[in-house]
Amino acid sequence: MYLQRRNRITRKSAAARALVAETILTPNDFIVPLFIDEGKNNKTEIASMPGYFRNSLDITVMEVKELWSMGLKSILLFVKAADNVKDNTGKESWNPDGLMQRAVKEIKNAVPEMLVMTDVALDPYSIYGHDGIVDVEKGTILNDETVEALTLMSLSHAEAGVDFIAPSDMMDGRIGAFRKALEENGYTDTGIMSYSAKYASCFYGPFRDALDSAPGFGDKKTYQMNYANRIEAINETLQDVEQGADIVMVKPAMAYLDIIREVKNAVTVPVSAYHVSGEYAMIKAAAEKGWLDEDKAIIESLTSIKRAGADLIATYFAKQAVDMLIS
């Protein structure tokens, strides 16, 4: 054959492939989610997330030091609130001595340069496992009352010294309300990473095991988005940017690569993607059965998420990925 172009030339060796690779993962791409528990010196493996743990704060602080030494520079905190502080107001979420507030302070104290982000939503604090306040008679989630509660929660995280709040609740108007409250209270360097396009997804199942936060009734479809929809994601994201989000997010990641790309093309702020608990569990389970090569599945997944347009990736595989990138 006489061919004008032979596409295989730039694939012919590892060196050639590396030379023309468009997407390269680095430790700076990752946000590490951490699950925090009350108590001391306890470490609980999450049944549906083998190899991932919920740790007491003392162990979390050691873990954060290790992450920093590995070159991982940002973490996203989630707490498992004790049953006796849960109610339908979420008031524990703005307790200045609550687990989240203590965690932010202790971590910032121990590793001041680590970028600390906190989840903002009521589900760990809700007796109903919902992200907002429930109208018990109607069985609905109250938008405006929830935004008021979450504003107090956000301010208390800012007061504790968080770098970015990360609202995952999907109530309407929350980003504008939080930004206004941060400005009015002098927290002018607290960032907002908004879960902008967060879908009502079955892939959050293992996370709800980790925090014991599964909804007690119904589902989250009246606030999280329908996975059938694409344009709505752009709408949500543009509104969040308009209301003051510094970083926007698409969640989950692997089944939503099209959304990541569209959002990336639509905004000029950094885009993050959350490679969620169920996506972690799928790879772990298949690898455990010997059906997938775990390391390769991790790197291919994360590279694909970045290629789709994610500037940042929240992933439970951050440590494993960094180990592979270095070795």
Residues at the contact surface with ligand PBG, assessed by CB under 6 A: 119, 121, 123, 131, 168-169, 204, 207-208, 220, 276-277
Smallest distance, ligand PBG to C-beta of residue 186, A: 27
* Closer by beta carbon to ligand PBG, 183 or else 219: 219
Q: How far is the CB of 237 from ligand PBG (least distance, A)?
A: 17
Whole-angstrom Cα distance, residue 278 to residue 276? Answer: 6
Cβ neighbours of 279 (radius 10 Å): 23
Residue number, 34 or 57, with CB nearest to ligand PBG: 34
Catalytic residue among 198, 220, 306, 319: 198
Distance CA 246, CA 49 (A): 30
Catalytic pick among 105, 251, 264, 306? 251
180 is catalytic: no
Inter-axis angle of helices 143-160 and 174-184, nearest 10:
40
**Amino acid residing at 171:** M
Cβ-based nearer residue to ligand PBG, 110 or 255: 255
Three-state secondary structure along 207-253?
HHHHHCCCCCCCCCCCCCECCCCCHHHHHHHHHHHHCCCCEEEEECC
Q: CB-wise, 139 or 265, nearer to ligand PBG?
A: 139
Q: Provide the minimum distance between the beta carbon of 123 and ligand PBG in the complex, in angstroms, as a whole number.
A: 5
- As measured in angstroms, the least distance from the Cβ of 204 to ligand PBG is 4
- First vs last C-alpha separation in the chain: 41
Report, in Å, the least distance between residue 119 CB and ligand PBG: 5
Residue 251 annotated in active site: yes
Tell me the CA distances in angstroms from 294 to 21, 76, 142, 159, 252, one per residue in order.
22, 24, 42, 40, 19
Q: Residues 206, 278: contact at Cβ < 8 Å?
A: yes
CB nearer to ligand PBG: give 24 or 100.
100
Catalytic positions are: 198, 251
